[in-house]
Structure 1
Amino acid sequence: MASKTPVTISGTATVREIGERLILPLPEEASARLPSRGQVAVTGALGEHELSTVLEPDGRKGHWVSLDEEALAGLRAADLARDGAEVAFQLTTAASWPEPEVPEDLGAALEEAGDLDEQWARITPMARWEWVRWVGATKSEATRAKRVDVSIDKLRKGSSRPCCFDLSSCTDPELAKSGKLIGLE
């Protein structure tokens, strides 16, 4: 959740490649100024590329930026979409959360359910981010499918959030081991 007084952090960060993905871990001193060790909604810029996103926790009291295709396009233009590139950033905590990109399986299940449009709209964007993170926080297809089913069941019962998992851990199974972003000292 964004703090009442916006916090702005700026500096440079080094692009890191983990597996086949590029991410931008923020410097420790920048993350320390943020209002939460968990996800933080921000607006700002990476180099010349403007963005509105949610910073992800690294499981070590820090944060990282997912470099999606749009961000990478902006960084490619400046030859910064590569491991080791130094990227200037200026990020300000946002007053509201952007909508998450709902994964195909969860989106299809919500649509198939047919009775959850109001419930999904009623919960906050921050809560929707938590549902998306929880569904995606597994490497196992069987576990993921079960989490989609449980999500539908819990939403039907009026739940706003999936559960009480550690919100300050890195939940991206491609990038994390034991809740910690891999590849950082």
Structure 2
Amino acid sequence: MSKADTTSRFKAKVLRPATPDDAAWAFVVLPRPASEKLPRRGRTTVDASINGHRFQATLEPDGQLSHWLKLDRRLLETARVQAGDTVALQVAPVKREPEPALPADLRKALDAIPVARAGWDATTTIARVDWIHWIVSAKQAKTRTQRVVAACDMLAAGKRRVCCFDPSGYYSKALAAPEAAE
């Protein structure tokens, strides 16, 4: 499939998250046909444009087999967009998923366990995206800490993919787009 076949163009309303009240960011939920053209239902990086302004972003799964896009303050200002606006969007998957940023707590744990670090280094970029997503999607600090420990244990044991994690959120309902303010 060529990049032209996977490019989606659509209009969407820019939404303000319900919480926090003073959020400096907004978001857009992709229509399902646009998500269906993407290579995966979990986190995926896209080349995108909003009202003609180009950028690269990582889409988050919405738990409904689609995705949502966080628009940070800087992007909103640069594209001259605000919550409530209807915008023209274009999204296409990147040719190669970029290496994800390693969270500090996971980096520290991997550095302390060389065999886990070797397991990490032997995984694919997409697998690392899923490992990180599983860890950072924890709702509580205690759960996140437990997941870092479990990840190191699994990687040290030779596991290359995180088990028991649905990166789309569809089956576990663990992931969702933010609730929109009214």
State the Cα deviation string for residues 66-117 of structure 1 (Å, max 9, x = none): 335xxx423213331x322333222212221112222221122222334444
Q: Which amino acid aligns with 2:162?
A: P
Task: Give TM-score scaled by structure 2 length.
Answer: 0.78
Residue in structure 1 matched with residue 101 of structure 2 by the alignment = 101
Residue in structure 1 matched with residue 140 of structure 2 by the alignment = 140
CA–CA separation in structure 1 for the residues paired with 2:97 and 2:29:
20
Residue in structure 1 matched with residue 177 of structure 2 by the alignment = 181
Find 1:51's aligned residue among 49, 55, 70: 55
Q: Which has the higher contact order (CA 8 A, sep 6+)?
A: 2
State the Cα deviation string for residues 148-181 of structure 1 (Å, max 9, x = none): 01111111112111113222217xxxxxx75333
Residue in structure 2 matched with residue 12 of structure 1 by the alignment = 11
| Unaligned ranges ≥5, structure 2 | none
Map 1:149-164 to 2 at 5 A: 149-164=149-164
Secondary structure of 2:16 counterpart: strand
Q: Which amino acid aligns with 1:154?
A: M
Q: Is the 8 A contact 1:23 1:67 kept in 2?
A: yes
Q: CA distance change for structure 1 residues 95 and 79 in 2, over 3 Å: closer, same or farther?
A: closer
Residue in structure 2 matched with residue 26 of structure 1 by the alignment = 30
CA–CA separation in structure 2 for the residues paired with 1:35 and 1:115:
31
- Report the aligned-residue RMSD: 2.5
Q: CA distance change for structure 1 residues 49 and 124 in 2, over 3 Å: closer, same or farther?
A: farther
Q: Which amino acid aligns with 1:26?
A: L
Residue in structure 2 matched with residue 173 of structure 1 by the alignment = none
Map 1:60-75 to 2 at 5 A: 60-68=64-72, 72-75=73-76
Task: Give TM-score scaled by structure 1 length.
Answer: 0.77
Q: Which amino acid aligns with 1:79?
A: R
Residue in structure 2 matched with residue 41 of structure 1 by the alignment = 45
Q: Is the 8 A contact 1:52 1:98 kept in 2?
A: no
Identity %: 33
Q: Is the 8 A contact 2:53 2:79 kept in 1?
A: no
State the Cα deviation string for residues 95-152 of structure 1 (Å, max 9, x = none): 2111222222112222233444443232111111101110012211111100001111
Q: Number of residue pairs matched?
A: 171
Q: CA distance change for structure 1 residues 90 and 128 in 2, over 3 Å: closer, same or farther?
A: same
CA–CA separation in structure 2 for the residues paired with 1:43 and 1:167:
21
| Unaligned ranges ≥5, structure 1 | 171-176
Residue in structure 1 matched with residue 112 of structure 2 by the alignment = 112
